[in-house]
Structure 1
Amino acid sequence: MSPAIKQLDIESLIEELTVEEKLSLLAGKDFWHTVPIDRLDIPSIRVSDGPNGIRGTKFFNSVPSNCFPCGTGLAATFNKDLLVEAGELMAKEARMKGAHVILGPTCNIVRSPLGGRAFESYSEDPLLSGHAAGHIIKGIQNQKIVACIKHFVCNDQEDERKAVNTVITERALREIYLKPFHIAIRDSYPKALMTAYNKINGVHVSQSKRLLQEVLRDEWKWDGTIMSDWHGVYSAKESLDAGLNLEMPGPTRFRQQTPTLHSIQTNEIHRDVIDDNARYILKLINEGLKAGIPKEVVESPNPTKEASALLRKAGDESIVLLKNENNILPLSKKAIPGQEKIAIIGPNAKAAQDSGGGSASLNAAYKITPFEGIETKLREGGNTVSLDYSLGAFLDRNLPDIGHSLINERGDKGLYARFYKEPPEDKERKIFEEFPLSTSRIFLSDFKSKNLAPGELLFYADFTGTFIPDETGDYDFGVSCLGTAQLFVDDKLVVDNKTKQTKGDAFFLGVGTREERGVLHLEKGKEYDIRVEFGSSPTFTLNKAPLEGGGVYFGVRIKTTGEELIEKAVKVAKEADKVILVVGISKEWESEGFDRPNMDIPGYTNDLVYAIAKANPNVIVVNQSGSPVTLPWIKEIPAFVQAWYGGNELGNTIADVLFGDYNPNGKLSMTFPERIEDVPSFLNFGSTNGQVIYGEDVFVGYRYYEKVKRTPLFPFGFGLSYSTFEIKDLVLTSNDESITASVKVKNTGKVEGAETVQLYVQQVDPSVNRPIKELKDFGKVFLKPGETKSIKLTVSIKEATSFWNGYKNKWQSDSGKYKVLIGNSSDNITLEDEFETKKTFSWLGL
């Protein structure tokens, strides 16, 4: 039996702490930790990103992490139990990184496919978002790790995210954007919450008394700790009065002791406000202590078979089969008789698109590309299928990371880094740090060395490796940086991003240079020594570099045209029996810090798909993106698979589904529109003079498409299987408190699989303009061929029937008739029944 974990006596400490000590608690110590008070044995606790996996405390050269499928992919599983398991694994890995608090889940709304962090959230639907977040929180907190739900609320775009004023009706705020937080807090009670950067109706959320006090504390009776997003505080007094307990990161920008003490002494800030905020920090520390994490933790990865198995399971269930004409899928691993040839083509075939970009991105412990996953699958069982490959098109915004293509001086894949205090022209300079790296995307924002004094940001580094070309030709070399950099090949200067720099969009939030390029002719098989000489952020010539050590990205690829790549791919496709075409976008296009400019796949990908479809009728397109992309060629291909950003196991999961080792059962967590102009927020997305109007009101996603009778490309909740299912025998019971729908689900096909039962409710004669129907619950059932199982879904009357009454400022449930609609997607309702309520009532709270 483990010893009891000593908890802080909060009220005694409030009496003992000085005002100065209380103030020190109200902001972080650094990027990842709270402030300790050694005098009173108040420890520091650690927080860590996040929604895609647990980073630990380092961006640069971090301890590897397991990367989970992105949020929209996890929600596509529609599997509540699996999401609890995912949360439990996240918590286990947080413990291994010494983190008491996970900065996630993210449960904003996918209001538009263009949202830079859409992939990080769960869905366009508030109920699915709330249940996904809630079940992951349950898993995290089952393991006594604190979950910090974010970003409260309406952080649904990246454009001017710290300044934009979200103009929204109270009804839309309540029914769509607050609702996921409402559900997650009601069902799983996260112990922490992170505020959004943006304003709502003129007030920054991080200093909104109405949202943080009146809604969260008073109405919802939630008593957890509220922290800011990083650098998301805009005031001292207003944020403290509103109950923003913790400013992150530290050290503080706004809660500095001298001015804040002055505000307390002059009664601008009440002492009780300081005490109340300090209580919540002590409460968070108490919750963190329950994890029993040792004070000194050496961060470690979790390279276990069990972890990989769960990541693969989650990835398998997330994949959505959207088109499968003539049952072209699943593919056979054995060609009978003779030999079959499969071509794998596309920019994402040999790229591991594990996650979107920004703070959700991390150093994945390993990544399986789709090509590797398919190749491994075909090696199983002595198959007779052969594989060909062609790139087909470029996707990269900049030249690709070549860490995996270089060989360092130790003979390993990767490059070698040497750090100096003196510039390259100093012949007497000395190395103060050296180690191998696996990537040529080097972000040094948190680089530290015992040989650098605190705050010493000026240093230099050489990054070296050997490059061996696969073919003879002219090669493009590219360098972007936050600092200065020059790239040499065999001591010849090829790229100069030092003597003349141009502002670009490199690095987090686009603060670095543009990519400068140079061309050099290389011979196939010959060894070339690559050296990049880098100067840290103080050497940056454009403006003050804000990200401390800065960084450098460099890459190389053969110089060619889009037409030449397509021509090569078509030749490969013509010689194949079937083509797997792996397309989509990447973290360079879908990321925190910016929104997508349009819904299209960039570059020549669409031309590639058209050309391959013309050359070979048996084309299976696999798309990787965290949100919808335009698919103008969808009618030209027989099969389409949505694979999201799949985490470590993405290549294996794609192969599992393509070859039928896993029967796909994912369902779309958002509507896939035909064009961006069809999206309900199309006219009101992005900041216009510091403002965004949520003009579609409550008609987000499928609510809008159904209301205006516009058929999308693929509807919300839709997904095919290699089997068939029948949902039958609906029995609906209701009382004053709840409705319960019981159905039977039968697997009428020949393959084991799973079906998701979706329960929607429609008010027959609404008193206000309401959506045609709204998702109110769902359940997933796994069935062998011919097997039948019962599933029961129960929803409270108030949740099933209520809308927000803006006149009363309360939820309202009207008396009258309601339909319960049961189906396996939003556009395929196969069963319905009615219930009736006898009284109209209003309510508040959870």
Structure 2
Amino acid sequence: MHDSSRFAALVQRLSLAQKVGLLAGATFWTTPACAPIGLRSMALADGPAGVRGLRWDAADPSVCFPSPTALGASWDVEAARDYGRALGAEARRKGIDVVLAPTLNVIRTPFGGRAFECYSEDPVLIGAIGAAVVAGLQEFGVAATIKHYVANDSETERYTVDVGVDERTLREVYFAPFETVVREAGPWAVMAAYNAVDGTTMTEHPLLDAPLRTEWGFDGLVMSDWRATRSTVASARAGLDLAMPGPVSPWGQALVDAVERGEVDEAAIDRKAVNLLGLAERVGALSDVTFERAAPEAARVAADAAVGGTVLLTNDGTLPLAEGAVRRVLVVGEAAATPRFQGGGSAEVIPAAVVSPLDALRAALPDDCEVVHVPGTRSDLDLEPLPLDLAGAIDLTWLDPAGSVVHRERRASAKLVYLGPDVPAGAVSCRIEWKFTADEPGEWQLGFIGCGYFELRIDGTQVLAGHASAAHEGPGAELFNGPSRAVTRDVERGETLSMRLDHTFGKLGVSLTLGARRPRASVEDERARLRAEAAACDVAIVFVSTNRASESEGVDRDTLALPGDQDEVMSLVAGHAPATVAVVCSGAPVALPWREQVSAILAAWFGGQEVGPALADVITGRKEPRGRLPMSWPADDSVPVHQVAPSGGRLDYAEGLHIGYRAWLKEGREPAWPFGHGLGYTTWELSDAAVTTGDAGTTVTVTARNTGDRPGRTVVQVYLARPDSVHDRPVRWLAGFAAIDQGPGTSATHHIRLPARAFQHWSAETRSWHLEPGRFEVQVGVSATDIHQETLVIQRD
């Protein structure tokens, strides 16, 4: 708790206009400074899987960590704290005060396009991982911003959708992670979401005060999602403190006028300003603060998190590859050489380097093991970012309406993102020039990804012209969901083409990627080669992935099927190779119709910049796949969710408490793999489950024995059930867990505390938590369906 009286005294020194001036962004990513009270500007940046900084720029790269779904798959609270510490250290390195992370929304459905930014479908797991990330991040004096408060679980119509959810479901499912993190980790900021809940948009909602501040004790700052503030008076009367971004805002002078007309109480403005100064004090923007912390090595944390989240879904003994027994390995897939290591949208960062799984496998396997790569799959219609070694220098010229030069610069990245404030003053268009030199002969596709008006010239001849629009509507669509535009050129090895792209951009700024796609053999020729190479190898490792169109901010998926021909290629290889290992690179589950045809399947999620070495270590057995599924993995598009997409602007959570594994259990159906599932390279037995209750609460003890011949990890999961309840309840629900590591042949007793809340339910009638007296079943296992031990505990009021 900070000293609000000091901040209140500072606020009283300011005029109304000065106070209101503090409450909207100065720029897209910064807050205003105020010299009279010694306040400097604060810098904010996206950061669910890496802290981007104020610019997307290869000149200032960011460490790209595995996606939050991968961190959720670790079930490892200490690893999550390290992840948070690494984010905090990265933020300090980049001069960022406030990181817009973590995302505490629930994966209500695997169709969510932004599911990869979330931790799990279960609120207990989300809360535990999220609290650890927040605590680790804020050790470095950097504010964590928990988001998106609340029920922001759909990208479809995300700016306007009205979520209908009953009070009990809101409390027990969607509020639950936020409450846990606020109470246990004390985040310094909360982000109000775009969507409405039961008719009121979140930036105007009473929920910003109660229960957030009144019950949970939140004492930080509430900011809007970017451009989520749509009103002056209604949002100012609510618990919103900071309207982002700026300098254009519904607040500003309009809010000053509203206060002077008596429509908004000035005391409300004072409270908001006090909250902002409280945040500034915590991050060192109001007083000099020294943060003496040993920064973790971020790349190591990224590598550990990639291994920690990798889930071995199935394995017939092919993994790990037996040392000395494999002489020829076939690696298949575009994603092997050009990995899909992060999701699309505001979570994207530009890392200094990414080692591909193909290169990492070649380095990890013995010198006498031949590694053959065949791209095989055609999973993505998009261009790949143009490799800098093929582009040479990239020159960027900014032009005013008359075509005069405003500014020139040289770029070190094929991705150019300049949000409004980053665009040089007076510029309305830009010209990008580069030399493309082919390193192999054939038909190259050359072009760009982005929105706006474009003219593309090759060797002085215009080859493309016109306006490109985003495939989906919504805030930021033109930044995150621009289409690919390309032409095909037959180029000789070493031949150089002069490229020029003229671009007239929109009000949000510039977001484009210069792209290329390498020549490929015909489908028929590649399939023939695949058959031959598969038959000749000892093991085939096939990489499959989603693409930018299927997992990105701003758009939900309409199918869980892998894009392109990847399923067909997987079946072809599996039908000819003696053993086939599938590696799935996605942020959330995808349908795997060939799962019974392959020897092993690894879910690698979006593994971040260290995905290649991490997977090589897992495949060769140097490290064990340590992850367990943080969500149910369906076999196909038939998932037990009543309404996936909004209808008529409304999205009703009619399933109530029964989402994820709870829905599968209620309907008596089985997914391909259940929540909590995952294999390792050893085997386990759980026994002697017992329950003790006392003043300190309820504790479950269980003995775990590693029955294999190598060290390993398992995740002991404790579920509760109440079959005879008079209230609607899930068949079982997660109450606690422990990720444990033990050596071969060892046994150990582990203690898992169950919070009182695990036994309680929310009463909409009394608007309070209640305990239903009686017998609860305590179920101990290693997934939502694999229960090893059961016992009973009696709870009384």
Q: What TM-score, normalized to structure 1?
A: 0.89
> Would the alpha carbon gap of residues 631 and 434 (structure 1) be closer, same or farther in structure 2, given more than 3 Å must change?
same
Counterparts of 1:324-723 in structure 2 under 5 Å? 324-325=315-316, 327-335=317-325, 340-378=327-365, 382-404=366-388, 406-408=390-392, 415-421=393-399, 432-439=407-414, 441-445=415-419, 448=422, 452=424, 454=425, 456-472=426-442, 474-493=443-462, 495-496=463-464, 498=465, 500-501=466-467, 503-505=469-471, 508-510=476-478, 514-523=483-492, 525-537=493-505, 545-558=506-519, 562-677=523-638, 679-681=639-641, 683-723=642-682
Flag structure 1 segments of 5+ consecutive residues without an equivalent. Answer: 296-301, 409-414, 538-544, 840-846
> Would the alpha carbon gap of residues 660 and 404 (structure 1) be closer, same or farther in structure 2, given more than 3 Å must change?
farther
Q: CA deviation at 1:600?
A: 0.8
Alignment-derived partner of residue 263 in structure 1: 258
- Cα contact 1:108–1:151 (8 A) shared by 2: yes
Distance (Å, rounded) in 1 between the aligned partners of 2:237 and 2:296: 49
Alignment-derived partner of residue 308 in structure 1: 299
Distance (Å, rounded) in 2 between the aligned partners of 1:45 and 1:447: 15
The amino acid of 2:346's aligned partner reads S
RMSD, aligned α-carbons: 2.5
Counterparts of 1:795-810 in structure 2 under 5 Å? 795-797=754-756, 799-810=757-768
> Would the alpha carbon gap of residues 553 and 279 (structure 1) be closer, same or farther in structure 2, given more than 3 Å must change?
same
**Structure 1 ranges of 4+ moved more than 6 A:** 5-8, 290-295
Other structure's SS at 1:598 match:
coil
> Would the alpha carbon gap of residues 697 and 565 (structure 1) be closer, same or farther in structure 2, given more than 3 Å must change?
farther
Distance (Å, rounded) in 2 between the aligned partners of 1:431 and 1:206: 38
Q: CA deviation at 1:573?
A: 1.9
Q: What TM-score, normalized to structure 2?
A: 0.94
The amino acid of 1:265's aligned partner reads E
Counterparts of 1:46-445 in structure 2 under 5 Å? 46-61=43-58, 63-209=60-206, 211-257=207-253, 259-289=254-284, 306-325=297-316, 327-335=317-325, 340-378=327-365, 382-404=366-388, 406-408=390-392, 415-421=393-399, 432-439=407-414, 441-445=415-419
> Would the alpha carbon gap of residues 586 and 743 (structure 1) be closer, same or farther in structure 2, given more than 3 Å must change?
same
> Would the alpha carbon gap of residues 526 and 100 (structure 1) be closer, same or farther in structure 2, given more than 3 Å must change?
closer
Once the two structures are superposed, what CA deviation does each residue of 1:476-511 show, in whole Å capped at 9, x if it has no partner? 334344343344444444x31x2x335343995147
Name which of structure 1's ranges 193-202 and 139-148 shifts more when overlaid on structure 2. Answer: 139-148
The amino acid of 2:41's aligned partner reads S
> Would the alpha carbon gap of residues 72 and 255 (structure 1) be closer, same or farther in structure 2, given more than 3 Å must change?
same
Flag structure 2 segments of 5+ consecutive residues without an equivalent. Answer: none
- Cα contact 2:547–2:563 (8 A) shared by 1: no
- Cα contact 2:182–2:217 (8 A) shared by 1: no
Distance (Å, rounded) in 1 between the aligned partners of 2:264 and 2:400: 49
Distance (Å, rounded) in 1 between the aligned partners of 2:470 and 2:222: 35
Q: CA deviation at 1:32?
A: 1.7
- Cα contact 1:27–1:250 (8 A) shared by 2: yes
The amino acid of 2:370's aligned partner reads S
Once the two structures are superposed, what CA deviation does each residue of 1:798-818 show, in whole Å capped at 9, x if it has no partner? x12111222222222100001
Distance (Å, rounded) in 2 between the aligned partners of 1:267 and 1:438: 51
Distance (Å, rounded) in 1 between the aligned partners of 2:135 and 2:674: 29
Q: CA deviation at 1:49?
A: 1.2
Distance (Å, rounded) in 2 between the aligned partners of 1:530 and 1:486: 14
Other structure's SS at 1:676 match:
coil
> Would the alpha carbon gap of residues 514 and 359 (structure 1) be closer, same or farther in structure 2, given more than 3 Å must change?
closer
Name which of structure 1's ranges 638-647 and 29-38 shifts more when overlaid on structure 2. Answer: 29-38
1:786 equivalenced with 2:782 (yes/no): no
The amino acid of 2:494's aligned partner reads K
Other structure's SS at 2:255 match:
helix
Once the two structures are superposed, what CA deviation does each residue of 1:721-744 show, in whole Å capped at 9, x if it has no partner? 110112222231013651101122
The amino acid of 2:700's aligned partner reads A
> Would the alpha carbon gap of residues 591 and 291 (structure 1) be closer, same or farther in structure 2, given more than 3 Å must change?
farther
Distance (Å, rounded) in 1 between the aligned partners of 2:545 and 2:634: 16
- Cα contact 1:393–1:608 (8 A) shared by 2: yes
Distance (Å, rounded) in 1 between the aligned partners of 2:40 and 2:680: 52
Other structure's SS at 2:152 match:
coil
- Cα contact 1:822–1:829 (8 A) shared by 2: yes
- Cα contact 2:386–2:514 (8 A) shared by 1: no
Q: CA deviation at 1:641?
A: 0.4
Alignment-derived partner of residue 796 in structure 2: 838
Q: CA deviation at 1:180?
A: 0.7
Once the two structures are superposed, what CA deviation does each residue of 1:285-342 show, in whole Å capped at 9, x if it has no partner? 11111898899xxxxxx9x9932222111111110001101x011013534xxx7100
Distance (Å, rounded) in 1 between the aligned partners of 2:23 and 2:398: 37
Distance (Å, rounded) in 2 between the aligned partners of 1:445 and 1:563: 44
Distance (Å, rounded) in 2 between the aligned partners of 1:584 and 1:737: 47
- Cα contact 1:536–1:551 (8 A) shared by 2: no
> Would the alpha carbon gap of residues 138 and 305 (structure 1) be closer, same or farther in structure 2, given more than 3 Å must change?
closer
Distance (Å, rounded) in 1 between the aligned partners of 2:238 and 2:570: 53
Distance (Å, rounded) in 2 between the aligned partners of 1:697 and 1:780: 29
> Would the alpha carbon gap of residues 490 and 271 (structure 1) be closer, same or farther in structure 2, given more than 3 Å must change?
closer
The amino acid of 1:433's aligned partner reads R
Identity of aligned pairs, percent?
29
Distance (Å, rounded) in 2 between the aligned partners of 1:504 and 1:278: 38
> Would the alpha carbon gap of residues 8 and 532 (structure 1) be closer, same or farther in structure 2, given more than 3 Å must change?
farther
- Cα contact 2:57–2:416 (8 A) shared by 1: yes
The amino acid of 1:31's aligned partner reads F
1:771 equivalenced with 2:730 (yes/no): yes
- Cα contact 1:819–1:833 (8 A) shared by 2: yes
> Would the alpha carbon gap of residues 420 and 44 (structure 1) be closer, same or farther in structure 2, given more than 3 Å must change?
closer
Count of aligned pairs between the two proteins:
791
